[in-house]
Amino acid sequence: MSHLFRPMRQPARRFYDAIEDEALKRPERYYKYWIQAERDRMMAEAQAYAQETGLTPPPLSVVESAERCAKGHADYTAKWAIGVARYFEKQQKATNGTH
């Protein structure tokens, strides 16, 4: 994938790719179903990342908040992915004792 807003760093790039993949299914779904499917996909991707890294997965409220903050932006998917990635970055900094 080569998109203008695609994040360069992980895990934001991974989350972005997952949502972009899920967004391809939008034409097959009603609005309320694709919104839920994309949230579910983001949660699943965040949970998988947490398991792989030994970090704590975000609560649904973090994923939903990041998505709400991204609404209306041209780089919606990137902002959402970066918002969820920040949850993990904060956790890693707290674990490593850095600010």
Residues 53-84 have pLDDT tens digits of: 999 999 999 999 999 999 999 999 999 999 99
Cα distances from 67 to residues 36, 84, 99, in angstroms, run 11, 9, 25
Residue 3 located in a structural domain:
no
Q: What is the pLDDT of residues 4-52, one digit of tens each?
A: 899 999 999 999 999 999 989 989 989 889 889 999 999 999 999 999 9
Residue 1 located in a structural domain:
no
User: What was the pLDDT predicted at 95?
Assistant: 84
Residue 52 located in a structural domain:
yes
16: nearest Cα among 7, 27, 25, 24: 7
The whole-model pTM stands at 0.89
Q: Look up the domain containing 92 and give its range.
A: 33-96
Residue 6 located in a structural domain:
no
Residue 89 located in a structural domain:
yes
Tokens of 21: 């993949």
User: What was the pLDDT predicted at 68?
Assistant: 95
How many domains are contained in the chain? 1
